[in-house]
Structure 1
Amino acid sequence: MPDLNSQVIAALLPVTCRKVFVAYSGGLDSTVLLDLCVGLPSLTGKIIAVYVDHGLQAESVGWGDHCRRQAESLGVDFQLLTVDARASNGESPEAAAREARYRALRQLLAVDDVILLAQHREDQMETLLLQLFRGAGVSGLAGMPITSAFGNGQLLRPLLDVAKVDIQRYAQTQGLQWVEDPSNQSSDFDRNYLRNEILPVLKQRWPALDKTVARSAKLCGDAAQMIEAWAKQTLPTVFDSTDGSFNIADLSILTATQMNCLLRHWLGRMGLKPPSQAVLQTLVEQLTTGRADALPQINIQGHSIRKYRQKLYCIPELSLQKDAQIKCWAPEQEQMRLSNGYVLRRSAASAGLSKDLWQNALVTVAPRRGGEKLKLPGRAGHHCLKKLYQEAGVPPWERDIRPLVYLGGCLAAVAGLWVAEWAWLRAADACYQLDWRASESV
């Protein structure tokens, strides 16, 4: 490979690049990355060096000061971010620090912004081996991508195919100054143990190990892309965008491998991390087989996976909690937030609840208590809500949390579904429509 130079950066930068954030820890790798960026005239005035202080080491403040001075000497802007990187129960310190760092960096980027990370070929090798030891599949063994979407912008790893020795040679040739993190010498962390204890032995036997492992990561990445493309094409055939459910009515044409793949992508679309093979096996055994009228459920990652009428639903556990309070709806209030994260909105409509009745009555919102009946417009007789819910295919867990709206103490509407005949009206600009849905934060 030719000598390391700024073209490794230029080759990846999008033409429309606005700001270039460089994740700058002050260490060797990120110091070289920042220097390479400064060597590109096209980036003059666009570079912002970003130091993330995890607050885990006493030296971190001093490292931040070093980064600030170095950025100033290079004539680039500097930004310091402070994050809470403490690990929660069951979370590794490494994962907690990484997640906190990425979360903070992600918020910096606007459209057409990029952030550069200094991971190199040996980092890629370590990532793939760690994933292998954890039993990862093809996506995990693909390691880190060179480019990926990140917040509103893009994340680039321009040094990912560069050997560590080339980075060291560049730093020495350019006379760069960097800080050494003493925690890198501790083998308490998995990555450090691999780097300090295992890889030196392996590289004695296989000197080009970083290059060959990186090649395997690239091949796994190609395979992962093909799987991703298939899943994106196939998932819409079983995914219902109106309620986010997964249709299992006819999955006989899918192999077990394809089924697992689609379930992973569905759960990812619903905001969950990729589940383990054991969790997937449980999902398949308990939720996609068995009696059609069974109502099994599995709780993972703060969500409840449930089955109803040959469809799977992924529901945040918070939203399953019943808001038991009776609330008054003020006349000027257009929306009401419920304690379980749902939002009830009122909007003008040409058919629905009579505005006149609404404005001249005490409006209250209450949970279902059982035994409520409703007479629907154009339909004879009063009907129990239980029967109406069954007819409409409303999942059982939703029946207790969907709010009821009363005008003057009389049941007038089931939010988002029905309006009682006595409160119903069809007239331009004389009605209200009620919409009930989970807020974006749930």
Structure 2
Amino acid sequence: MTHPFDAAVAAFSPTLPLGVAFSGGADSSALLLACARRWPGQVHAVHVHHGLQAAGDDFAAHCAAVCARWQVPLVQRRVDARHAPGDSPEDAARQARYRVFDEVLQQEWQALGIRTVALAQHADDQVETLLLALSRGAGLPGLAAMPARWQRSGVTFERPLLGLPGQVLRDWLQAQGEIWIEDPSNQDLRYTRNRIRHQLLPALQAVFPQHRDTLARSARHAAQAQGLLLELAEEDLKRVGHPPAIALLQGLSAARQANVLRHWLRQAHGCMPSEVQLKELLRQVQACTTRGHRIELKVGRGQVLREGGVLGWYN
């Protein structure tokens, strides 16, 4: 009988050569080893040193040794992933990783022809992401959790292991006689994700053994609904203009105003307003009925201001 992990890798059909994000942990080690065996000479690894803990140097050394033994070319980059006050540590680290991916892909990997990058998140990571989003009162983008496939800067990112529990990956890797490193921060219960992993998921497993499949289905429903909202936002942004005309915005329902303004701010200015900020922006737009009425609101690292009949943005 085919091992579930082997079946998942066999079903993965990336464009070669392939890049694999490699942390040195069990999940990325299993994915990198399986891909290197399936496509020898066609796989390249990238390791990001986040600069957040002293053990990071040991992680980097481990990754270099493993890649040398497996004969997999490795690119390593060090970043400062410290988060600003009030920001999510996890989000800061993720954004730092993607900045590295952009840099590597645009330079070294582009020369190698790499247009697909594989990430090793699995079904338990997906459940944690969805529960974390619920704990923060997230909207549909958060409830959609992690996509299995998406594009960034012309490169396709794929998560071929999202249907597998994490233990399946670790069991497979152990059966290969391989070792991995454990990130000590994964045991730190100050982080909400770790409390979900160590305290909530065991309870879910005991009460709802099928929770991975059912929550993944909910995430897919949310992703589909978010896709429809995105299509509507793009149509409405064409209607109200870029930048948005205040009078045309006022002709939309409050829900469509909120949807198109979120899309405009995210697409054009790279920021996502909080619920409080968006509510206040909608109030100011609705109240803007005279020539001298001002609109002024801080959103993210910038400000939304009225410029004649349209909304402007200033950093």
| TM-score, normalisation: structure 2 | 0.91
Q: CA deviation at 1:218?
A: 0.9
- Alpha-carbon distance in structure 2 between the residues aligned to 1:175 and 1:91: 40
State the match for 1:108 in structure 2: 104
Confirm or deny: 8 A CA contact 2:50 2:93 kept in the other structure: yes
After superposition, the C-alpha distances for 1:156-200 in whole angstroms (9 at most, x for unaligned) are 111112122321221232222111122211211111111112221
State the match for 2:29 in structure 1: 31
After superposition, the C-alpha distances for 1:27-72 in whole angstroms (9 at most, x for unaligned) are 11001110121132xx332211111111222222122111111112
Counterpart residue type for residue 134 of structure 2: L
Confirm or deny: 8 A CA contact 1:270 1:314 kept in the other structure: no
Counterpart residue type for residue 296 of structure 1: I
Q: CA deviation at 1:262?
A: 0.5
Confirm or deny: 8 A CA contact 2:288 2:295 kept in the other structure: no
Give the secondary structure class of the aligned counterpart of 1:201.
helix
State the match for 2:198 in structure 1: 196
- Alpha-carbon distance in structure 2 between the residues aligned to 1:56 and 1:178: 19
State the match for 1:268 in structure 2: 266
State the match for 1:356 in structure 2: none
State the match for 1:22 in structure 2: 20
After superposition, the C-alpha distances for 1:83-123 in whole angstroms (9 at most, x for unaligned) are 11122222233222222222112221137522211110110
**CA distance 1:252–1:81, change in 2 (3 Å):** closer
Give the secondary structure class of the aligned counterpart of 1:249.
helix
State the match for 1:91 in structure 2: 87
In percent, how many aligned pairs have the same letter? 35
- Alpha-carbon distance in structure 1 between the residues aligned to 2:302 and 2:224: 31
Q: CA deviation at 1:238?
A: 1.1
State the match for 1:141 in structure 2: 143
Q: CA deviation at 1:290?
A: 3.0
State the match for 1:8 in structure 2: 8
Query: Which protein has the larger Cα radius of gyration, Structure 1 or Structure 2?
Result: 1
Gaps of 5+ in 1: 317-442
Counterpart residue type for residue 309 of structure 1: G
**CA distance 1:112–1:25, change in 2 (3 Å):** closer
Give the secondary structure class of the aligned counterpart of 2:202.
helix
State the match for 1:281 in structure 2: 279
State the match for 1:60 in structure 2: 56
Q: Which one has a larger percent strand, Structure 1 or Structure 2?
A: 1
State the match for 1:256 in structure 2: 254
Residues 96-245 of structure 1 mapped to structure 2, 5 A cutoff: 96-109=92-105, 110=110, 113-240=115-242, 245=243
- Alpha-carbon distance in structure 2 between the residues aligned to 1:216 and 1:114: 27
Q: CA deviation at 1:11?
A: 4.0
Q: CA deviation at 1:10?
A: 5.6
Confirm or deny: 8 A CA contact 1:22 1:47 kept in the other structure: yes
After superposition, the C-alpha distances for 1:138-162 in whole angstroms (9 at most, x for unaligned) are 1110001011112331211111121
After superposition, the C-alpha distances for 1:323-380 in whole angstroms (9 at most, x for unaligned) are xxxxxxxxxxxxxxxxxxxxxxxxxxxxxxxxxxxxxxxxxxxxxxxxxxxxxxxxxx
State the match for 1:314 in structure 2: 313
Q: Does 1:73 align with 2:69?
A: yes
Counterpart residue type for residue 277 of structure 1: E
- Alpha-carbon distance in structure 2 between the residues aligned to 1:33 and 1:120: 11
**CA distance 1:246–1:135, change in 2 (3 Å):** same
State the match for 1:296 in structure 2: 295
**CA distance 1:161–1:5, change in 2 (3 Å):** closer
Q: CA deviation at 1:124?
A: 0.6
Give the secondary structure class of the aligned counterpart of 2:104.
coil
Give the secondary structure class of the aligned counterpart of 1:270.
helix
Confirm or deny: 8 A CA contact 2:119 2:159 kept in the other structure: yes
Confirm or deny: 8 A CA contact 2:45 2:74 kept in the other structure: yes
Confirm or deny: 8 A CA contact 2:250 2:285 kept in the other structure: no
**CA distance 1:248–1:11, change in 2 (3 Å):** farther
Confirm or deny: 8 A CA contact 1:32 1:170 kept in the other structure: yes
Q: CA deviation at 1:12?
A: 4.4
- Alpha-carbon distance in structure 2 between the residues aligned to 1:55 and 1:311: 43
Confirm or deny: 8 A CA contact 1:120 1:160 kept in the other structure: yes
- Alpha-carbon distance in structure 1 between the residues aligned to 2:250 and 2:314: 26
Counterpart residue type for residue 20 of structure 2: V
Counterpart residue type for residue 254 of structure 1: L
| TM-score, normalisation: structure 1 | 0.66
Counterpart residue type for residue 307 of structure 1: R
Counterpart residue type for residue 3 of structure 1: H
Counterpart residue type for residue 180 of structure 1: E
How many correspondences in the alignment?
308
- Alpha-carbon distance in structure 1 between the residues aligned to 2:131 and 2:51: 28
Q: Which one has a larger percent helix, Structure 1 or Structure 2?
A: 2
